[in-house]
A and B are shown apart, each in its own frame.
Chain A
């Protein structure tokens, strides 16, 4: 993966993580790429990785926290972004 692509991946992953947090509360919002981060979203750098693509498990890390969400749509978006 080239450096520019890797940065792009992380940027997308970070944006996806915010969407994932929303997905837990309002699943419909996760599918909308234009959804703005609501108040209370992570302000720090966010890292996300797809820990189990088959189950749609995405591990999201921000600060000293880690949450694992099950969101197949989010996992697929990240996987697709990684292939760009």
Chain B
């Protein structure tokens, strides 16, 4: 979750595993859009001596569709390479790393950013851009955030900015509970299966874990259909679709003489991610791998899974007498189809739309004409006082997407398309109860907090008898 180890095949290939994708109008520069793609889930910060890093053999991409086709019109491509400065040591660092270019960092990583615009030749925006080291601990990477974060933010031509490196995972969910037969700890007493050892305080399963994050901040004309800064919320050209992918070479052969794998052939997609939890809880296990390799414009193939989501049937079953109206609702979920596959068309919510046309595709849909909210509300459009700058209008790092999607699936959004439906009282209260317990989000680029340090890592939860 939101897409950490969400499919059988990609769970064996963490370096290429998308974990979260974000797209929002930048609060620090409202004429720009921030696009973030996270990879490499569940990074235990003390996982050395070969700490986490981007894959040299993985092509990472962030795609933008702006013509309603759900095919990429703009793609930012990221390719990484690593160097070893000292071949005679096993150490990640041979002393304190006091700057991003310090020779004591034995395994620096660099990357190239390329812009691919439909109908144009690829444009290299930056080469040999240094990543920051991982957060090893106070002796190896002292004063981590102040030393490395700003140093790893690079300006690119055209008033674009980029960061690629380790960050605290900003996503939060009670993993241990939800995968234990859909337990939501705040509602554990209502669960079908009693548990004598219930711990009712929510637990953030991503607590103290890191990810690797690629963040771009680009002027709106970079990604919008008319290459401008739209100001009409109701105009189709104000909406962009965003998703991220990881690709590997089609053929890989292990070279026994070097002990390394060598790639041949074109890069083929092995992982993708837009809306949080789509592949995780919408797509059945038997189809998750093929979904990861498929393109968004083919997602009508999966539309029936959205229109009649398994989780919508599980909630009434696991929480008897709690979601009775949902249990009785037998129509296709046009609300979820709009939120996840087409965007919300004009006329459904006063003064709002993020519709990209009839092509069903899993994309984050961001209406860039909606200004950032000064005091963003974590429930976005589902907040008591709706915040149209938040999910499912794109996705900000602060958006509580687990609660938003749980409530949507529980039926809160059905009245948008079917006013005769009355949501269950529990639907407006359902949540896993977690909040971000990792490093605070940054107010500015790259928005995710500094990564947790290895030295500071504490052992996990003690085992219980039951």
Contact = CB atoms under 8 A, between A and B. Distances in A.
Interface of A: 3, 10, 45-47, 49, 61-66
B256 A45 contact: no
Contacts of A10: 253
Interface string B154-177: 000000000000000000000000
Given A61-B250, A61-B251, A47 B256 contact: no
B266 A45 contact: no
Contact of A64 (B253, B256, B266): B266
17 contacts: A3-B256, A45-B262, A46-B264, A47-B251, A47-B253, A47-B264, A47-B265, A49-B251, A61-B251, A61-B264, A61-B265, A62-B264, A62-B265, A63-B264, A65-B266, A66-B250, A66-B265
Nearest to A6: B253
B447 interface: no
Interface string B175-187: 0000000000000
Interface string B231-261: 0000000000000000001110100100000
A21 to B, nearest CB: 15
B441 interface: no
A46 B251 CA distance: 10
Contacts of B262: 45
Interface class of chain A by DSSP: strand
B269 to A, nearest CB: 14
Contacts, number: 27
Contacts of B264: 45-47, 61-63
A3 B253 CA distance: 12
B267 interface: yes
Interface in B280-300: none
Nearest to A63: B264
Contacts of A65: 265-266
Contacts of B265: 47, 61-62, 64-66
B256 A66 contact: no
B416 to A, nearest CB: 45
Contacts of A46: 264
A64 B267 contact: yes
A4 to B, nearest CB: 11
Nearest to B59: A64
Nearest to B255: A45
A45 B265 CA distance: 10
B61 to A, nearest CB: 14
Given A47-B251, A63-B264, A66-B266, 4 more contacts: A46-B264, A47-B264, A61-B251, A61-B265
A63 B263 CA distance: 8
**Residue among B250, B251, B267 with max Cβ neighbours from chain A (10 Å):** B251
A10 B253 CA distance: 10
Contacts of A3: 256
Contacts of B266: 61, 64-66
Interface string B452-466: 000000000000000
A47 B256 CA distance: 16
Q: List 7 tightest A-B contacts by C-beta distance, closest first.
A: A61-B265, A61-B264, A47-B264, A66-B265, A47-B251, A61-B251, A66-B266
A59 B256 CA distance: 24
A38 B264 CA distance: 22
Contacts of B256: 3
A46 to B, nearest CB: 8
Contacts of A47: 251, 253, 264-265
Contacts of A63: 264
Contacts of A61: 250-251, 264-266
Nearest to A66: B265
A10 B250 CA distance: 16
Nearest to A7: B256
Interface in B296-347: none
A3 B256 CA distance: 10
A58 to B, nearest CB: 13
